[in-house]
Amino acid sequence: MEIQRVAGQGTFGIVYLALLKTNNTLVAVKTINENATIQERISFLKEASIMKQFSKCHHVVKLIGVVSRGQPPMVVMEFMERGDLKQYLRSLRDSSQNFTSNEIYRMAIEIADGLAYLSSRKYVHRDLAARNCMVATDRTVKIGDFGMTRDVYETDYYKKGTRGMLPVRWMPPESIADGVFTTDSDIWSYGIVLWEIATLAEQPYQGLANEQVLQYVVSKGILTRPEECPNLLWDIMRRCWDWYPSKRPTCFEVIDRLQDHVGEDFKLISYYHGREGQEFLLTHGGVRTVNHPALGTGGFQYEEHPSENIPLNIPNREEEREGEEDPLNEPECLPPSSLQQSSSSSDGEAFELQLLKNY
């Protein structure tokens, strides 16, 4: 493997673009700073351990291998040329290219397919958001970055007591109030991702500080419908935000509703239409755990509303400028980690790579 150039920054260190010589493929190499603590090194390698289990789905970013010889360790992953989905969506704001409903549906079904694969393996993501989805050269969207983007997008997170950094704008009421995370809570977050897609990555609950978002969500408040949002997409969003977790759609149900709006090629590459996905549907399709709604309010008081959900109604704010932090969030977030380039990595340097057997 040969390092070619710096591709960006990750939570723990520099991300490089490298050439995998065994098959002449470009890959992304995540590194960790030499001065990282033992706990940070454990957290860094934990993502690789998690992603090793999820190597058979086209819509989840693939782990290729780990460089374990020498220091620092490196995690080698599939290279996603267009970066994360949040960044990509914002780049479309200044584009003359029309963002069609068919493209929106394609993104939506690809993320749902990746989430269906994870849920079939009883994995709860807990942090599904546009920033944690990656975009390939052909604009395929895949779920990735399992817990490694928190310092890159620090203003998307909120520190609440001893519970660490929480992505409150993507969290359902039961997670905020009771700390409960399930496949159903991932579906709530998926609905927020659809809202991000429809708004070209506007900040959810824009105009509210994080504390206000907490209060609003546990008061049964939801986001408003984006302008020019397709009816089907809005209906899916609303169902994803049902107060009762077990009334939210499953990933498989979302795919079923969207599949007539995407090309036939989706059936050839999706987990849903593959042998494994269909077997899961046959054996587990009718089985669903009943997850209860928020029992507490997480220290917040709210009034019971007669309607199912209350849409967000706040004054419009001027759209965030590209690259600026939201001043409402700034004092409520931890400072970003120090990101320094490792002195042991340089352009053209070669490393031995332990490849996964199935790559």
Active site residues: 127
Residue 28 carries which side chain, given as an amino acid letter? Answer: A
Residue closest to 255 by CA, chosen among 237, 270, 240: 270
d(CA 255, CA 270): 10
Residue reference for tokens 């979302």: 254
Do 166 and 160 meet the contact criterion of CB atoms below 8 Å apart? Answer: yes
d(CA 301, CA 318): 30
Do 81 and 137 meet the contact criterion of CB atoms below 8 Å apart? Answer: yes
Instruction: Give the burial string for 241-266 (b: 16+ CB within 10 Å, else e).
Output: bbbebeebbbbbbbbebbbebbeeeb
Residue closest to 107 by CA, chosen among 185, 226, 51, 190: 190
Do 73 and 44 meet the contact criterion of CB atoms below 8 Å apart? Answer: yes
d(CA 61, CA 9): 17
d(CA 133, CA 113): 12
Q: C-alpha dihedral over 106, 108, 111, 117, to 10 degrees?
A: -90
Residue closest to 265 by CA, chosen among 350, 172, 138, 148: 138
Residue closest to 34 by CA, chosen among 14, 48, 20: 14
Q: Of all helices (H) and strands (E), which one includes residue 64?
A: strand 63-67
d(CA 246, CA 132): 25
